[in-house]
Amino acid sequence: MSPTASASSPFRDGFAALRHEPALLAAELTWRWCFGLSAWGLVLLSIGLFLDSVRISPPYELLLRTLQPRLLADALRQIFHGSLSRLLLEQTVLVSGVILLWSLAATAGRAATLHRLVAMFRSDCDAEWQSTQWHFIPIFLLQLLRALWSLIALAVAVGLLLYGMAMLQDQHPLRAALALSFGFGAACLVGLALNWFFGIAPLFCVRNGAGAMQAVEQAADFSERHAPRLFLLAVGFLALRLVWAATMFLVLLSPASLLGRIDAGWVILLGAAVTLVYFAGADLIYLARLAAYVSLAEDDSHPTSWEPASSPPLGIEPMAGRV
């Protein structure tokens, strides 16, 4: 990949990097799917422990067997009465464990992936760079902050949504409008913006050797200087993701149409296989987008021949070529 080609099309460079190094996708799928299996295991274990601690008396068991919505609601309310504190404690431990597990898995996976991608787009004279540190601690802090902030933003957005609906039912249209439009929208926008900065900041930890907060500052500066190209990249990869999702949804309808002809277990198995294929394709698109950002970051330190010479951004010395 030449510097000129990379500067003109980071989108194409993203997929070219995956063709050049197919093991990147295997590594991405490994850490993502291992985390997914571990997280689902923790969720099922938590549910099992909670249900095992609940005792159902014969009268309530009889009410559950009636399958009447009103009787079911009364029975469940009585069964879980007094168990709310234990449920909240278990869910707090579960969420903390999942966040910590995600931060560790994402740190290892993202550090390895970015280290290889940056090495691919660096010049031949930078071969010694590949032996440098991988900066696990700042990447771990960034992933932890990203997970915590996503959880906070989600909680605020859901809280404002519920508050707005409650105000709407209580005949307070102004409060409902402010909560559902301005409050909910602002929470989503701020959450997405900070999630973006925390998500791209590990690139500058690996590429520039920056600390966590310094990497966020460099990510914000990089996003400001390349906002038009980053927007076009985001739109391109989003369109590709939507096309892939629509295609897999149509494929998913095929096993569902066989429900009356073959056993339901086979239909579920085929649906699960199609779902896994969708997730694999989605991870490939995400990895290609990450490689495109690496390509754009390297173009940032390699101005083309027709551009005026300027001092390199972020204190990085310019390099003469690209692989």
Angle at 66 between CA 65 and CA 71, to 5 degrees: 110
Please, what is the average pLDDT of the chain?
81
Q: Over the stretch 54-90, which tens digit does the pLDDT of each residue have?
A: 777 777 677 667 767 777 777 777 777 767 777 788 8
What average pLDDT does the segment 96-110 reach?
91
**pLDDT of 316:** 38
- Cβ-based neighbours of 84, under 8 Å, separated by 6 or more: none
Q: In this predicted model, what pLDDT tens digit does every residue of 198-227 receive, in sequence order?
A: 999 999 999 888 899 999 999 999 999 999
Q: What is the pLDDT of residues 121-168, one digit of tens each?
A: 875 445 455 445 678 999 999 999 999 988 998 899 889 888 888 888
CA distance 271 to 252: 6
Confirm if 205 and 135 have CB atoms less than 8 A apart.
Answer: yes
**What's phi and psi for 317, nearest 5 deg?**
-70, 140
Neighbours of 175 (CB within 10 A): 15
Q: Helices 264-300 and 184-208 sit at what angle, rounded to 10 degrees?
A: 60
Q: Are 106 and 143 in contact (CB under 8 A)?
A: yes
Among 43, 153, 45, 141, which residue's Cα sits nearest to residue 98?
Answer: 43
140, burial (CB in 10 Å: exposed 0-12, middle 13-18, buried 19+): buried
What is the rounded average pLDDT of the residues 113-125?
A: 79
Token digits for 219? 């990510």
Confidence of residue 235 (pLDDT cuts 50, 70, 90): very high
* Residue 321: per-residue pLDDT: 39
Burial of 69 (0-12, 13-18, 19+ CB in 10 A): exposed
For residue 1, the model assigns a pLDDT of: 52
Give the tens place of pLDDT for each residue, 9-43: 899 999 999 999 999 999 999 999 999 998 888 88
Q: Tell me, what's the pLDDT at 124?
A: 44
Q: Which of 98-107, 128-137, 236-245 is least confident?
A: 128-137
Q: Three-class SS of residue 235?
A: helix
Let me know: does 95 contact 32? Beta carbons within 8 Å.
Answer: no
- Asked if the model's pLDDT at residue 256 lies above 80, the reply is no
The winner for highest mean pLDDT among 82-96, 262-276, 282-296, 303-317 is 282-296
Q: At 302, is the pLDDT very low, low, confident or very high (cuts 50, 70, 90)? A: low
Structure tokens at 102: 């995600």
* Residue in 218, 217, 22, 216 with CA at minimum distance from that of residue 120: 22
